[in-house]
Amino acid sequence: MKRKKEILIKFGNKVRKHRKLLDLSQEELAERAELHRTYIGMIERAEKNITLENIEKIAKALDLTVDSLMKLDK
């Protein structure tokens, strides 16, 4: 269980980092990704386990590839 939470935290932190680099609000990112604003917040707070389809939407909205978004060690 701890490992699952750890990966969600790393992913959420990476989404937040790249969102802020683009100077986007959660709402702006959600609009770009065609997702709900609260869903983006839940991802960033590691409260939601995200689907592959939504990973792809977020990556595109952040101008990243899925591969680069999924590299969580950096």
- Give the HSE-up count for residue 56: Cα atoms under 13 Å, Cβ half-sphere: 3
Q: Which domains does the chain have, with CATH numbers?
A: 2-68 (1.10.260.40)
Round to whole Å and give the CA distance between 66 and 74: 15
As given in the structure block, the two tokens for residue 47 are 């409260």
- Give the pLDDT confidence of 45-62 residue by residue, as tens digits: 999 999 999 999 999 999
Going from the C-alpha of 31 to that of each of 26, 36, 53, 70, the distances in angstroms are 9, 7, 16, 21
Residue 74 has pLDDT above 60, yes or no: no
Residue 1 has pLDDT above 90, yes or no: no
